[in-house]
Structure 1
């Protein structure tokens, strides 16, 4: 896709203040989103929800973001709109307030759909900002951006143990302040983004050199994108099995309390945040394909052993799985952006949309299976998904290989 006249070009040096700003907003955004899964144990008891209904709540939020993100990203490739960044957080704010006061299952679905719209606007445009501010360190830039989101997601279990167990569903209302802070920071980022649009652009030769690291045929590009889609599937369905059902697995299988189960889930999510931070810089140094392969396929030993471990080793193994697995996604996004230069928004929207959609669909399907079988069966079934990481060996070599 050709670059339009008003579209910004990447900077030559890494702009860390902007990267940290969007990472902080990512932290706030995903903290607010994580309130949904953090409320699952509370809502299941207070509203007598089934596992299938819990899966539908996750699906409603994620599928909304999944469908809208490629649309938002593709539109932004043609006509960037910097001030859509704070507008996206406004939808999340509306969803937070609605979720805090939702009296039934249907209203909860409407609330999480609003939050899904907010994420659909936030992720592709903020990922574009990370690309523009990266300079020559795209893996690092995406990792800085995404580690904020992973830290935010990791706070969900802590919120359940500390906030939602004593305060209940209405405790979500406190996160309206996080939304207001996110709106203010995004307004600042949008100002920088607008300045970038007005700045002189580099020559077409310099721009092409800065954007393209691989020269591939159309068939190679399509094949590589399809492989990346399968890898995102393996990562996010497995992530969904842990974030949605690992707490219930610990409660049912080991008799731990809701508070303690959420702390174990926090260990997984916090380890995932750490893995995200290290993945990008390592990929800049050792190659995208190498790190994608190592991240996903390297999770398999931990995931396969997990369902057969005692409580102590289950906590250790799930943290190791989170650390190794989560280093992949930022690298996948950068690799795909380099496969399809000039389509940063579309690529970001597509892969963030896939992440949300596959995670949400996984929650629904796994919820049905859990109702028909058991949570323990879900853990055993999903343990083999990281083996799909072997497909990464068929990706074209990038310039760092």
Structure 2
């Protein structure tokens, strides 16, 4: 549990720094005179660097686990925060976003492997503890914008370097435990009694079918989240004629409730089944996402709480489900799914920014509200019992 709390804390620090970037898009738009399309490109760069590198790093560390990558990843995030604080132009913002994305791409696959090693039999709970750190960091980002960045301006990002330094220290401690755990695991493999049969692998067609549905669920979830974290503040300020600080309260409510949903999602999936939890987490969001564009300012906060609670409950479950589909590829699966989540969010941000420049913010927020209806396809996922029968 100490190790799980450690990787969760590192995840919190990383995602707090990463999530503060889209949270300050209105600030950058005003100070640097950026268009919505340029804002979308910043989000795309942040997410693309992570989406491309994460599966590659995961595949590499499946073959050669590297504990030293844990503190090294946080160092990239520190450099990204420095560039963000000093950026005089759109190009420098892109560089800062890419550095933060690289740091994130290193953290997720290796930290997910650490959580898997420390989990024992409670894989869902362990992944939820790891993931809830990230959701907590995402929830804190809007508050950090209100209390740090808005009073101090762009130079306020220098305070985030303290978080990166703390993250380097935490990751260094975890890396030492991780190195020892790898040695113990290697010793157990060498001493294992020969002759024990390995489980029969799942068929390629079955695995591709299930993974395709999981990827569709990631598309629904993370493109919708990109519309909320990157652009809902503009919609909220425009519709209700309220300041940015008021809009950040909605985003905080969304992310804070998501923290609770993530923590509950893994244990509930361990009890009621992963397939059920996945479809509920996406499809169950739809009634509330469809209401959100038409609610008043107070009701919007309440709806954001419900949306965050339900929508965020499924991601850790999707990761564990996919790791069971592809046993022995823990880092690859974690890197692939985290990478896809960032990549889909980045592509969605660019597309939405371009469409908002053409059609306006309001219409795009209304259209994006339909994305959780794709959760209907999660009903086609193989049930947990079908996975067991195929082993």
- 2: CA distance between counterparts of 1:22 and 1:153? 15
Q: Quote the offset at 1:399 in angstroms.
A: 3.8
Give deviations 1:358-385, integer Å, cap 9, x for gaps: 0111111011111111211111111111
Q: 1:295 aligns with which of 278, 281, 294?
A: 281
- 2: CA distance between counterparts of 1:19 and 1:77? 20
Q: Quote the offset at 1:204 in angstroms.
A: 7.8
Q: Match of 1:328, SS?
A: helix
Q: 2:188 aligns with which of 192, 201, 207?
A: 201
TM-score (ref. length: structure 2):
0.95
Check 1:204–1:168 CA distance in 2 against 1; reply closer, same or farther (3 A cut): farther
Match of 1:93 in 2: 78
Match of 1:49 in 2: 34
Check 1:273–1:192 CA distance in 2 against 1; reply closer, same or farther (3 A cut): same
Match of 1:350 in 2: 336
Q: Match of 2:383, SS?
A: coil
Q: 1:217 aligns with which of 186, 203, 209?
A: 203
- 2: CA distance between counterparts of 1:312 and 1:383? 18
* Kept in 1: contact 2:250–2:300 (CA 8 A): no
- 2: CA distance between counterparts of 1:99 and 1:308? 35
Match of 2:348 in 1: 362
Q: 2:44 aligns with which of 48, 56, 59?
A: 59
After the TM superposition, which residues 321-336 of structure 1 pair with which residues of structure 2 at under 5 Å, given as runs? 321-336=307-322
Q: 2:99 aligns with which of 93, 107, 114?
A: 114
Check 1:329–1:204 CA distance in 2 against 1; reply closer, same or farther (3 A cut): farther
Check 1:35–1:291 CA distance in 2 against 1; reply closer, same or farther (3 A cut): same
- 2: CA distance between counterparts of 1:230 and 1:24? 29
Q: Quote the offset at 1:36 in angstroms.
A: 0.8
Give deviations 1:112-171, integer Å, cap 9, x for gaps: 101111111111100111111110011100110010011101112112211111111110
Q: Quote the offset at 1:215 in angstroms.
A: 6.0
Residue 153 of structure 2 corresponds to residue 168 of structure 1? yes
Q: 1:319 aligns with which of 292, 302, 305?
A: 305
Q: How many equivalent residue pairs? A: 383
- 2: CA distance between counterparts of 1:122 and 1:207? 34
TM-score (ref. length: structure 1):
0.93
Q: 2:326 aligns with which of 314, 320, 340?
A: 340
Q: Quote the offset at 1:274 in angstroms.
A: 1.0
Let me know the Cα RMSD of the aligned residues: 1.7
Higher helix share: 2
* Kept in 2: contact 1:278–1:327 (CA 8 A): yes
- 2: CA distance between counterparts of 1:165 and 1:84? 33
Q: Match of 2:384, SS?
A: coil
- 1: CA distance between counterparts of 2:196 and 2:307? 38
* Kept in 1: contact 2:219–2:344 (CA 8 A): yes
Match of 1:255 in 2: 241
